[in-house]
Chains A and B, each alone.
Chain A
Amino acid sequence: MKRPGIILINVLIMVAIIAFVSVYIVSNDGRTKQRQTEHFENTTVTMERITENYLEGEQHICDVWAHYINSREMTMDEAAAFIRISHVLPDASAHLIWLDSRKGVSTRPHLGTDSDFAVSYAKMDFMSDTSWISEIGKSTNISRAYTNPMNGEQSLAFCNKIKLYDPDDRTAKEAVLLRVLPVSELEQKWIIPRERFENAELTLIDSEGNYIIKSKSFKNSNFLEFYKSYNSSNPSTIDSLHDDMTSGTGSFTIYNSKEEKMLLAYTPVLETSGWILLGLIPESDMNVNTENWLLIGVISAGLLLLFVIDLLFIRSFNKKLRIAAAEADSANKAKTDFLSAMSHDIRTPMNAIIGLTSIAQKNIGDDEATRESLRKIGLAGNHLLTLINDILDISKVESGKLNLSPVTFSIVETVENLVNLSQPMVKEKNIDFNFRVGHMEKEYLYADQLRLNQIYINILSNAVKYTEPGGSVSVDMYEEESPVPGCVRLTYRVSDTGIGMTEEFMERMFQPFSRQTDSRVNSIQGTGLGLAITRKMVDLMNGTIDCKSEDGKGTTFTVVIDIPVSDKSRDDIRLDPADILVVDDDEVLLRTAEDTLGSLGVSTDTAGSGAEAIDKILGRRQEGRNYDLVIIDWKMPEMNGVETVRRIRSDIDEKIPILLISAYDVSEIEDEAKKAGANGFVSKPLFRSTLYDKINQLLGKEVSSAETEDDHSDLDGIHILVAEDNDINWEIIHATLAMYGMTSDRAENGRICVDMMKNAAKGKYTLIFMDVQMPEMNGLDATRAIRRMEDPWASSIPIIAMTADAFSENVTECLNAGMNGHIAKPFDVKLVIKEIRKIKERRS
């Protein structure tokens, strides 16, 4: 539904609620008002009773006087004298007037005099016709309010016709006895309940509407005139009004002189000549629940507020939805872009693999061409593998499912591995490569080795990749004290003289699929995921990664990670006392080597060049103290390591053990070095353990020529059980092992593998390569089953996972299941052989 529709519905609901509340309140107020009105009418009737009682009481006194006077044949003066004696009320008086002349005497003197009792009603219209005065005791004969001629006060007169006698001839004459009371006397009798009707007024009118007692809101001299003056009327409505008021009790609404709506209650005053008591009160006083309108106001304001808040919320919500939709679109586009990029990036090596395979098939007779094709297929395959690994890693990083699987590992091995991996490219590009290890006390650390390797390799491989041939790449690694207890702070810094990065690219270099747009870069293979993964992994390890780069001049990446130290230690390794000469043009390496060798318990001398080394060896010889060992860097200016070895062998000593240091793959110089007389090779960086092993190897055993890596005779006779459901994979591993002189049996799934182990003779298999995902029983369950076997040989047989599940958690899972190692598919043959050798050595 569109927004106007929602707003309309909201408004309609609000209006409906307000209307309901209003109707309810109005209805409730109406009932309350009705009750109030009835109550006011009843109050007016009560006042009428009081009035009536008062009037009847006063009339009764007048009747008693009249009876008495008539019964005694009194003269006017005698009657006046009698009444004066009977008077109780101070404000009351009595007038006795002759009916014919309407003159007579008052029982009280004229105001301001003591003896003037004469009174005249000659100009009083109500005395011109006295037919309204009934017989004594028949009714209340009361005059209209008039001005008492004796004191000027507005008064009422209760009247009776009497007979008075002429004092001279004692003839009877008709007269009227008036018991005169101030109007205020009656007003004082009216006590309206003020707490409920604070603004109520009472007025008494006669049958013609003339006021007898008039309260302040009543205007004019006549109520009907008052009504006509301020209310719309015509003669018929006035007649109707008059009839209603004289015939019963009721109420109606009128407007007063201020145009205010008033409630007028009326009730006839009984026993009088059509008098009516009127009660008047502002109609607003009948509305007792005015607070309810406040309630409506509050409800209205509340609904309006809710409406506005809802509107704002919906607006905000819609905005978020729009943003989410945009993000979804963007994500979708990113996904499309990603798939497009992946498609491209996967198809490229795949194209190479398929194309080169076709070429190789066609050139099957041409060994050289076939070898070249296979080499390139291998490169393309490796790239494809890297790409897939990166994609899997980044997807795990993005989904937050990347977990670390810490294990105890040797940083020495890590560095060696790092150097080994980088060697081919370094060599290929003829890059000056330096790997310097600084202060490194702790060899065994506890971390996710796989991820740490990934971090280091990514950075190093980038440095090598983006450095032009002839450039240099240097790696510095050193250990510092960490603020985190139980950790060491490992700093890994890779500097290159490569193409560098632009500032703009540096801002987004950690975003997935970010590759610098540069003609120099386009020719370099890459997924654009490496740095993103690296950054995430460094973050996961609570480390920092810093980058300084200048476009065209080079880049320096520094990774600092606090890594827990493992309990495992080789701190006790010590060499027998020996005198060793280290030769290198690199001062840093010399100092590092001096420190490291010193910690191994040997004395160290250093030489900055081949020539200096020869001089020192000669000097020692002259002193009769030969060095026990000479360690020479291969790459040195003027005289390189091989030449130095050759000169030492030819000029000085044919027997002195010499180790050649190289940061590169020694295979390139192996033959030449051996010919020159080198006894062995040691790779940079010079780790304590590496040096220990190599020196021990040379000094502890007879000096022999360096081993050739092509000698696999030690692997002959090894029989391996391979649990693999996939025929091709089985074929590959079977053939690979056979290439190295090993034999293998196949188990098509975990169940068969377990059965074969149950039935195998002791020592039949040296180890098991176990696939993980297999039908019937997977590799993990099979491993557990084997580990549970009673036969100690079977239960302890080394089991190496060989699986495409290559994540660290998969590795951990395998180790937890009881396996001894993990090789990811597609496997690296070297790794397989290395792993087999390790096991063989351990077994022996």
Chain B
Amino acid sequence: MKKIFSIILSVFMILGLASCGSEDKQDSQKGFEPRLDKSTACKISIVGTYSNFEALEAEFDRFNQYYPNVELSYTKIDDYNSSIATVLSGNSAPNIFFSFSWMTGNSAYDSVFAKMEDLADSSLGLDLDCIRQGLLNRDSQGRVLTVPIFSTSYGMLINNDLFEKEGLKVPGTLQELYDVCAAFKEKGYASPLMGYSTDSSGCLMNTIAYPLFAANLAEHPETVTLANKCDPAAGEYMRPALETLSQLISKGCINLEECNKIGDNYTEVILRFFEGDVPMMICTGDTVSGTGKRESQSEAFTAHPFNYTFAPVPTTEKGGYFLDSPSVQFSVNNSCKDLDMTNEFMRFLISKAELNQMASVKRLITPSNDLSFDKVYAPIGGVSSDLTISPTALGIEDTLAVQIRLASYKVGTGAMTIDEAVAKYGTLK
């Protein structure tokens, strides 16, 4: 009889534990409180430039836990920059679409901006405070038409194990960077600093120079307008950045011959870094986003995995500048179907937890004000506020970014002297 009671009690215990487990699951879903009828059935489409957007598709599944009948889809739009205006006007206009900082001020996108909903509208209930305010672009009316989903920055991937192996300390200042590079060179490393260098787009030169230039402009904000307008007078503000770049190359920290072997600024940069013999790989946060998925694709890394992080390049004696830029931003089509559910999805998505979750999957820098969750980006979280520069807040426009990119590439490759580059600011092509 005791055995029978034991069996019955065990069954009840198991059921009890199972119910406790389900309770825990319920608890884990707390934080987002649905406002609409959970049985609502509709379709929400999101369009953008990414071929793959697994991080967002994972959010679809999470959102479906609250609204199981809402069908969400992501579609890549061909020739996005040219097509988005047409797409927004078409029969299959999306509910949410990618928007970029460079669109701001470009009249070609006026119709696009006209379609954007004001996400700062308090009735929508979006938690914009969870986003680093430097990333939020408010227009003259105080509206927020674009919300950063990811942010990016300029810096370098650091092979921490290699530093440890060689008995060296990760540099925190420019001098330390020189010293470390010298030490690595002595140890036979051809190019302690590497990066993509065969094209101006995404080249290592810009990755080094742009933050320095932006920092200089930040110290002279009155020149930002000139720089945006490609006024040659603003060229002089590029000089310190270009000089630092030249010195890094001239001191042998960067061996361009080695760098030129890297075929593209994304996959090959990552795979080269995973070879394990590059102490520091200069790249943007966008490139870092590809590291997670490619760890398994790299035979070298699979064979000899190592610890790596991403940090600003220490280009000053105070350290490196963390250029905190929006990467992908979402805008809501204010005339789309099922706008209520679209805003509900945005309300769900714009939270520290979901943004961090997406950034974690995508391995991009989260736009939320909590950078500590991802160990790769952890060093960025330690950058002091005086070294953090927000191009959005500063008002930097795409034209300015293009000029420093071209100037740094040309100076870095020796195609142009620093003086020439400074003089030709605004006309560089």
Please report A residues at the B interface, Cβ cutoff 8 Å: 7, 110-112, 123-124, 146-147, 149-154, 182, 184, 214, 216, 219-222, 225, 229, 257-258, 308, 311, 315
Q: Quick check: A124 and B78 within 8 Å, CB to CB?
A: yes
Q: How far apart are A458's CB and chain B's nearest CB, in angstroms?
A: 51
Which residue of B61, B79, B82, B90 contacts A153 across the interface (Cβ within 8 Å)? B90
Q: Quick check: B89 and A152 within 8 Å, CB to CB?
A: yes
Instruction: Decide yes or no: A221 and B51 within 8 Å by CB, A124-B79, A258-B61, A315-B1 being known contacts.
Output: yes
Per the 8 Å Cβ criterion, residues 73-122 of B in contact with A are: 73, 75-79, 82-84, 86-93
Which residue of B1, B58, B72, B79 contacts A123 across the interface (Cβ within 8 Å)? B79
Instruction: Decide yes or no: A149 and B73 within 8 Å by CB, A111-B90, A229-B54 being known contacts.
Output: no
Q: How far apart are B15's CB and chain A's nearest CB, in angstroms?
A: 14
B7 and chain A: residue at smallest CB distance: A304
Instruction: Decide yes or no: A111 and B82 within 8 Å by CB, A216-B73, A219-B54 being known contacts.
Output: no
Q: How far apart are A221's CB and chain B's nearest CB, in angstroms?
A: 4
Instruction: Decide yes or no: A154 and B1 within 8 Å by CB, A219-B54, A257-B57 being known contacts.
Output: no
Q: Quick check: B83 and A153 within 8 Å, CB to CB?
A: no
Q: Quick check: B91 and A153 within 8 Å, CB to CB?
A: yes
Task: Specify which chain B residues have a CB less than 8 angstroms from the CB of A111 in the assembled complex.
Answer: 86, 89-90
Interface string of B63-79 (1 = CB under 8 A from A): 00000000111011111
B303 interfacial by beta-carbon distance below 8 Å: no
Instruction: Decide yes or no: A220 and B86 within 8 Å by CB, A7-B3, A147-B78, A154-B75 being known contacts.
Output: no
4 tightest A-B CB contacts, nearest first = A152-B87, A152-B90, A152-B86, A123-B79
Q: Quick check: A219 and B91 within 8 Å, CB to CB?
A: no
Q: How far apart are A452's CB and chain B's nearest CB, in angstroms?
A: 55
Which residue of A7, A149, A225, A258 contacts B83 across the interface (Cβ within 8 Å)? A149
List 17 A–B pairs whose Cβ atoms lie within 8 Å, in order of A's numbering. A111-B86, A111-B90, A147-B77, A147-B78, A147-B83, A152-B83, A152-B84, A152-B89, A182-B91, A216-B71, A216-B73, A220-B52, A222-B51, A225-B52, A257-B61, A308-B4, A311-B4
Q: Quick check: B89 and A112 within 8 Å, CB to CB?
A: yes
Task: Specify which chain A residues have a CB less than 8 angstroms from the CB of B73 in the assembled complex.
Answer: 214, 216
B88 and chain A: residue at smallest CB distance: A152
Q: Quick check: A219 and B57 within 8 Å, CB to CB?
A: yes
- A interface, over-half SS: loop
Contacts A111-B90, A219-B57 known; list 9 others, CB within 8 Å. A110-B86, A111-B89, A124-B79, A152-B77, A153-B87, A214-B75, A221-B50, A221-B52, A222-B52
Instruction: Decide yes or no: A149 and B86 within 8 Å by CB, A229-B54, A308-B4 being known contacts.
Output: yes
Task: Specify which chain A residues have a CB less than 8 angstroms from the CB of B4 in the assembled complex.
Answer: 308, 311
Q: How far apart are B328's CB and chain A's nearest CB, in angstroms?
A: 15
Q: Quick check: B92 and A154 within 8 Å, CB to CB?
A: yes
Task: Specify which chain A residues have a CB less than 8 angstroms from the CB of B78 in the assembled complex.
Answer: 123-124, 146-147, 149
Task: Specify which chain A residues have a CB less than 8 angstroms from the CB of B83 in the assembled complex.
Answer: 147, 149, 152
Q: Quick check: A149 and B92 within 8 Å, CB to CB?
A: no
Q: How far apart are B43's CB and chain A's nearest CB, in angstroms?
A: 9
Q: How far apart are B115's CB and chain A's nearest CB, in angstroms?
A: 12
Task: Specify which chain B residues have a CB less than 8 angstroms from the CB of A123 in the assembled complex.
Answer: 78-79, 82
Q: How many residues of B contact A (CB 8 A)?
A: 31
Task: Specify which chain A residues have a CB less than 8 angstroms from the CB of B93 in the assembled complex.
Answer: 152
Q: How far apart are A356's CB and chain B's nearest CB, in angstroms?
A: 66
Task: Specify which chain B residues have a CB less than 8 angstroms from the CB of A151 in the assembled complex.
Answer: 86, 90-91
Interchain CA distance A225-B50 in the complex, whole Å: 14
Task: Specify which chain B residues have a CB less than 8 angstroms from the CB of A152 in the assembled complex.
Answer: 77, 83-84, 86-90, 92-93
Interchain CA distance A293-B342 in the complex, whole Å: 41
- B interface, over-half SS: mixed
Task: Specify which chain B residues have a CB less than 8 angstroms from the CB of A184 in the assembled complex.
Answer: 92
Task: Specify which chain B residues have a CB less than 8 angstroms from the CB of A153 in the assembled complex.
Answer: 87, 90-92
Task: Specify which chain B residues have a CB less than 8 angstroms from the CB of A258 in the assembled complex.
Answer: 61
Task: Specify which chain A residues have a CB less than 8 angstroms from the CB of B61 in the assembled complex.
Answer: 257-258
Q: How far apart are A235's CB and chain B's nearest CB, in angstroms?
A: 9
Interchain CA distance A147-B88 in the complex, whole Å: 12
Q: How far apart are B8's CB and chain A's nearest CB, in angstroms?
A: 9
Interchain CA distance A143-B33 in the complex, whole Å: 44
Q: How far apart are B107's CB and chain A's nearest CB, in angstroms?
A: 16
Task: Specify which chain B residues have a CB less than 8 angstroms from the CB of A311 in the assembled complex.
Answer: 1, 4
A233 and chain B: residue at smallest CB distance: B296
Task: Specify which chain B residues have a CB less than 8 angstroms from the CB of A182 in the assembled complex.
Answer: 91-92
Which residue of A147, A214, A257 contacts B79 across the interface (Cβ within 8 Å)? A147
Choose among B72, B73, B90 the residue with the greatest number of A CB atoms under 10 Å from its CB. B90
Q: How far apart are B207's CB and chain A's nearest CB, in angstroms?
A: 26
Q: How far apart are B302's CB and chain A's nearest CB, in angstroms?
A: 11
A307 and chain B: residue at smallest CB distance: B4
Q: Quick check: B57 and A220 within 8 Å, CB to CB?
A: yes
Choose among A123, A146, A152 the residue with the greatest number of B CB atoms under 10 Å from its CB. A152
Interchain CA distance A153-B45 in the complex, whole Å: 12
Q: How far apart are B413's CB and chain A's nearest CB, in angstroms?
A: 27
Task: Specify which chain A residues have a CB less than 8 angstroms from the CB of B75 in the assembled complex.
Answer: 154, 214
Q: How far apart are B300's CB and chain A's nearest CB, in angstroms?
A: 15
Interchain CA distance A152-B50 in the complex, whole Å: 17
B56 and chain A: residue at smallest CB distance: A219
Interchain CA distance A311-B5 in the complex, whole Å: 13
A184 and chain B: residue at smallest CB distance: B92
Interface string of B35-56 (1 = CB under 8 A from A): 0000000000000001111100
Q: How far apart are A228's CB and chain B's nearest CB, in angstroms?
A: 9
Interchain CA distance A111-B82 in the complex, whole Å: 13
Q: How far apart are B257's CB and chain A's nearest CB, in angstroms?
A: 31
Task: Specify which chain B residues have a CB less than 8 angstroms from the CB of A110 in the assembled complex.
Answer: 86
Interchain CA distance A184-B90 in the complex, whole Å: 14
Task: Specify which chain A residues have a CB less than 8 angstroms from the CB of B72 in the assembled complex.
Answer: 216
Task: Specify which chain A residues have a CB less than 8 angstroms from the CB of B77 in the assembled complex.
Answer: 147, 152
Task: Specify which chain B residues have a CB less than 8 angstroms from the CB of A315 in the assembled complex.
Answer: 1
Interchain CA distance A384-B89 in the complex, whole Å: 129
Interface string of B139-174 (1 = CB under 8 A from A): 000000000000000000000000000000000000
Interchain CA distance A630-B75 in the complex, whole Å: 142
Interchain CA distance A222-B82 in the complex, whole Å: 23
Q: How far apart are A90's CB and chain B's nearest CB, in angstroms?
A: 11
Q: How far apart are B77's CB and chain A's nearest CB, in angstroms?
A: 5
Interface string of B117-132 (1 = CB under 8 A from A): 0000000000000000
Task: Specify which chain A residues have a CB less than 8 angstroms from the CB of B79 in the assembled complex.
Answer: 123-124, 147, 149
Interchain CA distance A631-B71 in the complex, whole Å: 127
Task: Specify which chain A residues have a CB less than 8 angstroms from the CB of B60 in the assembled complex.
Answer: 257
Task: Specify which chain B residues have a CB less than 8 angstroms from the CB of A308 in the assembled complex.
Answer: 4
Interchain CA distance A154-B75 in the complex, whole Å: 9
Interchain CA distance A832-B51 in the complex, whole Å: 132
Task: Specify which chain A residues have a CB less than 8 angstroms from the CB of B90 in the assembled complex.
Answer: 111, 151-153
Task: Specify which chain B residues have a CB less than 8 angstroms from the CB of A225 in the assembled complex.
Answer: 52
Interchain CA distance A505-B52 in the complex, whole Å: 102
Choose among A150, A219, A220 the residue with the greatest number of B CB atoms under 10 Å from its CB. A219
Q: Quick check: B58 and A257 within 8 Å, CB to CB?
A: yes
